Structure 1
Amino acid sequence: MVRVAPDARTTLEIGRCLAGLLEAGDVVLLKGPLGSGKTTLAQGIAEGLGAAATSPTFVLIQEYRGGRLPVYHIDLYRVETEAEAWALGLTDYFYGDGVCLVEWPERAAGLLPPDCITVEIEFLDGEGRRLTFRAGGPRSAEVLRRFDERC
């Protein structure tokens, strides 16, 4: 499933809409080059869950509480090996009480749960972005089915 966001505001809105469908234990993988809008989408999801998010660029795991669900915004850009990612205790977050948003998930590919929502973000002309959503299992497929109907 594909959505086109002509600007950052639309990317935030897409994130907010997706957030309304997420539950504890859901994991959203955010893929794309630097500056593509991964953090903007994560901020929209966090806002949709009732939390104010910032970029975790200098923090590997940023936790946001106070909303409908805890949000764990994980930025693996500075992680070089899967062993380093394992040492962060990522699996505790993946199977925990909140929603995980993972930037640069390929750096921990062997640790990721199989049933994730993957969002690949590509640059279009100007400010535009193409967001391609993929399901990894039955739970994420159901979320994306509902997302397609609602957002």
Structure 2
Amino acid sequence: MSEVTLFIADEEAMVALGKSIAEITGGVGLIFLQGDLGAGKTTLSRGIIRGLGHSGAVKSPTFTLVEPYEIGEVRAFHFDLYRLVDPEELEYMGIRDYFDGDALCLIEWPDKGTGFLPKPDLTITITAHNHGRQLKLLSQSARSESWCAALALKF
């Protein structure tokens, strides 16, 4: 497991990072996004989903829990578990079905789903700073090792 720390100056740079993540992952994998409210999790998700080729709005799935995106051959699912009361609710919504096959799953607030989520490929922890954001990327699979290495070179 490797860890990479990146410093992102603003929203535009966060979206650009997201687009790079989309390119590097090829639209497949499981990414956990952690950070306080307003840290930039949804902004990064928007960059990733747009980087996969989606041209419409990318809204936060705070009330729906998941927003699906079909982009050509790529399937992406953006989860926001902030309002989840009990992790067992994920079982009722068929959470395991989302992880079958080749899709990219982005999960904000993954700690709310403890016990019902598989191990991620990559965990990104975002912390707000005076002059931007600090992102810690923790690789948790063989394929995300190469993702981290590529992002470290690019940013």
> Could you report, residue by residue, the CA deviation over 1:109-139 in whole angstroms, capped at 9, with x for unpaired residues?
222222421000001015x111110011212
Distance 1:148 1:67 in 2: 29
Q: Could you tell me which residue of structure 2 aligns to residue 5 of structure 1?
A: 8
Residue 25 of structure 1 and its aligned partner are, at CA, apart by 4.2
Q: Could you tell me which residue of structure 2 aligns to residue 84 of structure 1?
A: 89
Range moving further from structure 2, 1-10 or 86-95: 86-95
Q: Could you tell me which residue of structure 2 aligns to residue 111 of structure 1?
A: 116
* Contact 1:63/1:73 (8 A) holds in 2: yes
> Could you report, residue by residue, the CA deviation over 1:1-60 in whole angstroms, capped at 9, with x for unpaired residues?
011111111110111001101145401100001111000000000011011422222211
Range moving further from structure 2, 70-79 or 92-101: 92-101
* Contact 2:6/2:152 (8 A) holds in 1: no
Q: Could you tell me which residue of structure 1 aligns to residue 135 of structure 2?
A: 131
Residue 86 of structure 1 and its aligned partner are, at CA, apart by 1.9
Q: Could you tell me which residue of structure 1 aligns to residue 79 of structure 2?
A: 74
Distance 1:68 1:92 in 2: 18
Distance 2:27 2:50 in 1: 16
Distance 2:30 2:120 in 1: 8
* Count of residues in Structure 1 that have an aligned counterpart in Structure 2: 150
Alignment of 1:1-150 (within 5 A): 1-23=4-26, 25-51=28-54, 52=56, 53-67=58-72, 69-126=74-131, 128-150=132-154
Distance 1:113 1:74 in 2: 14
1:82 is paired with a residue whose SS is coil
Check 1:56–1:137 CA distance in 2 against 1; reply closer, same or farther (3 A cut): same
TM, length-normalised to structure 2: 0.88
- For CA contacts below 8 A with separation 6 or more, give which structure has more relative contact order: 2
Query: Which segments of 5 or more consecutive residues in structure 2 lack a partner in the other structure?
Result: none
Cα RMSD for the two superposed structures: 1.7
Query: Which segments of 5 or more consecutive residues in structure 1 lack a partner in the other structure?
Result: none
AA aligned opposite 2:41: K
Distance 1:140 1:104 in 2: 20
Range moving further from structure 2, 98-107 or 21-30: 21-30
Distance 1:138 1:104 in 2: 23
Distance 1:68 1:44 in 2: 18
